Structure 1
Amino acid sequence: MKKPIRILIITLLSILLVIVSAGCYAAISFQSAREESEAKLSPINQNFTGDEQTSDKELTVMVVGNDSRDDDEDQGRSDTLMVGHYDGKTKQPKLISIMRDSYMTFPDGSLDKINAAYAYGGAQMTKEVLNTNFDLPINYYVVMDFKEFSDIIDELYPKGVKIDAEKDINLDGVDILKGEQVMDGNTLLQYARFRMDEEGDFGRIRRQQQVMDALIDQSKDLIPIWELPQVAGKIVGKIDTNVPTSLFIDLAKDFLTGKVKPLESLSVPIESSWNFNDDTPSGSVIELDASKNADAIQEFLKDTK
């Protein structure tokens, strides 16, 4: 064998060895960190069946936030419901925020608040309600409680998150003053979940979108790429999700390297598509025009290259 060819083969084999070694290290780091975390996967979500992806470059993830405190009268109901969409080809993240009191049709034909779906049937039931009302396919789910959110923020953003607070807020012993500041995980959580004012859930949805926008905008260069598997393992271990490990890491790489475009957001129900109704079996609800909101969602998710 000629020397140049032999050198080429040795070089290629060396590169392959490095790639394989790096992959093994990443897998071991991820699994080790996940096993050491505080994972408590919910049995209610073991039957989740994600809708088929329309493209291997696009995915839709349903994010459920749960307030799991024992004194919560709505124990088991979702406190926050968002649907994230990411196009890996265009690098465009999109976020749909759905108000918790939205009155929707359930698969059996009954009507109830969307936040009751999680209590009735976990992530699977919540997905089916979104399918039924908005023809919105869901590929994956993520469920986390308030403490997990706070811990994850502190893990990913050890120096805090910059936020321009839109108003003075006090919630669960946390005082937030209007203006620019750096928030830790718990402070950011209280800012995002506050709704005890005249705006109610409408103001809270706006602040949640502000928080998500800040998290994405400030995600670049948070951690070195070689630390990603270990950090990803810690995060995945703290949440209930069916997002595959490889996909989770691939997505994180895009965000951490600043490859993604600015976040686009949509609030549901959209303007002029809803009414308050205080006289229902579910109490005070937001009645919405499902068809009008479904059209708005489909238009929002259209490819905009």
Structure 2
Amino acid sequence: MTSAKKAGIRKILTIITSLITAVVLIFCLLFYLIINSYINKINYEKTDEPDINSNQIEILHTDEDLSDVKQDYADAIEEIDEIARKSMEDTQTSIISDDDITNILLIGCDGKEKNIRGRSDTIIIISVNRRTKTITVTSVMRDIYLHIPGQGNNRINAAYAFGGANLLMETIKHNLNIEVNRYVAVDFYAFVDVIDALGGVCIEVSEKEMNAVNDSIESMNIFTGVEELNNRLTEPGLHLLNGKQALAYVRIRKVGNADFERTERQRRVLRQVFEGIKNMNLLELNDLANAVLPQVTTNLTKGEIFSLILGLPSYIKYELQELRIPVEGSYTDMRVRGMAVLNIDFGKNIKKIYNKIYQEEKD
């Protein structure tokens, strides 16, 4: 082969290589621009300082029915207050963390109006363990009585109303001994949109649950100006629940074992959401993102979100496991200042969290 032909072949190979490189770069740029356009729809909170709401603190501290408290409980209340205070002090220097594990706090807010911060109605820790290839969904019951840094003792769900997501994360960190620095907060409008985008969730609804669902739906209809009987369930059994019906279902509290079954219902729906998103096509994912992302608030950075997105093909194959705090046999029911609360054994629950999420024994 002549040198001229060799030079010609090298030139052609160079051109082909350049074209392939250019195409790859263009696709990478397009991918970045598309993903960035979605990420820009999210509401970002950059500060790590709790957003203390003085008016909300006053309302929550004075909205307690003191007439329900018997004097016989005075010693017990003092004891549980001391336990809550000591628990936070004992965990100050032993926070659990692991570079292979990402903990993200998922907050469902019960504000009646958009942009109004209420108590955190749903508190769930999503833990992605890249070492064991597991995703753990930990429901934290909202009636747990503990110490809220700077605000005294109260139920955990008051922390969000007092100081937003940052104060809630700080409360979890110093009481449950787990490193949670990132959160995603969604209100009920976003939850409804997610379920509707998935085409609903299939749930077996008992007669008592149906009655509670219908009561909640009627209240939502009245609040939103919709015909009162719209979306009511007509009989118990297996239902494909739409967004509004699913929201009413996960908020049921006075059926069965109170908040224990309520958090179980939430995890049941989350499992279907997780499976449903895995099976969505690109057009469906686009519709879901456009509907939900503007209603999401987070302190995840854009870089962290990109990293999570790039890891999705692997994460959707991870084993999904569940945990509820407090675990069985680790709590007692009490009334404190008129509030129904859970007095929990923090040591036993911290050990369970460590064993489940980190897949290691803790002394």
In structure 1, the residue matched to 2:347 is 291
Which of 201, 223, 245 is the aligned partner of 1:187?
245
- Provide the rounded CA distance (Å) in 1 between the counterparts of 2:288 and 2:303: 14
Query: What's 2:47 paired with?
Result: 47
Q: Which residue of 2 aligns with 1:142?
A: 184
Task: Find out whether 1:212 has 2:270 as its counterpart.
Answer: yes
Deviation string, structure 1 residues 211-261 (Cα, Å, up to 9, x no partner): 11111223223022x885785465332210122345445545665788423
Query: What is the CA-CA distance between 1:264 and the residue it aligns to?
Result: 0.4
- The 1-side partners of 2:339 and 2:178 are apart by 26
TM-score (norm 2): 0.69
Q: Does the 8 Å contact 1:80/1:100 carry over to 2?
A: yes
Is 1:63–1:82's contact at 8 Å kept on the other side of the alignment?
Answer: yes
Structure 2 counterpart of 1:62: 105
Structure showing the higher helix proportion among its residues: 2
Unpaired stretches in structure 1, ≥5 consecutive residues: none
Partner of 2:157: helix, strand, or coil?
helix
Identity %: 25
Residues 105-254 of structure 1: pairs in structure 2 closer than 5 A: 105-108=147-150, 110-155=152-197, 157=198, 159-165=199-205, 168-169=209-210, 170=213, 171-173=216-218, 174-176=231-233, 177-224=235-282, 232=289, 234-245=291-302, 247-248=304-305, 251=308
**AA matched with 2:112:** R
Cα separation, partners in 2 of 1:245 and 1:34, compared to 1, 3 Å: closer
Alignment correspondent of 2:24: 19
Q: Is the 8 A contact 2:48 2:166 kept in 1?
A: yes
CA contact (8 A) 1:58 1:86 kept: yes
Is 1:85 equivalent to 2:123 in the alignment?
no
Q: CA deviation at 1:3?
A: 5.5
Shift, 1:263, TM fit: 1.7
Distance of 1:152 and 1:125 partners within structure 2: 27
C-alpha contact (below 8 Å) 1:81/1:100 kept by paired residues? yes
Partner SS for 2:278: coil
Query: Are the structure 2 counterparts of residues 277 and 24 from structure 1 closer, same or farther at C-alpha, using a change threshold of 3 Å?
Result: same
- The Cα of 1:199 is off from its aligned counterpart by 1.7
Conserved in 2, the CA contact under 8 Å of 1:112 and 1:282? no
Paired residues in the alignment total 291
Q: Which residue number corresponds to residue 94 of structure 1? A: 136
For residue 47 of structure 1, what is the amino acid of its counterpart? T
Q: CA deviation at 1:291?
A: 1.2
| Cα displacement (A) at 1:40 | 6.0
Deviation of 1:197 (Å): 2.0
Q: Deviation of residue 106 (structure 1)?
A: 2.3
Change (3 A) 1:133 1:180: same
Amino acid in structure 2 at the alignment position of 1:59: T
Is the alpha carbon distance of 1:152 and 1:16 closer, same or farther for their aligned partners in structure 2, counting shifts above 3 Å?
Answer: farther
Q: Please list the CA deviations of residues 51-91 of structure 1 after superposition, one character each: whole Å capped at 9, or x if unmatched.
A: 99732x53110011111115xxx962111100001134554
Partners of 1:85 and 1:9 lie apart in 2 by 47
Q: Which runs of 5+ in 2 are unaligned?
A: 1-5, 50-94, 219-230
Matched to 1:145, the amino acid is D
Query: Which segment drifts farther, 292-301 or 161-170?
Result: 161-170
- Indicate the SS of the match to 1:301: helix
Q: TM-score, normalised by structure 1?
A: 0.81
User: Could you tell me which amino acid in structure 1 is paired with residue 244 of structure 2?
Assistant: N
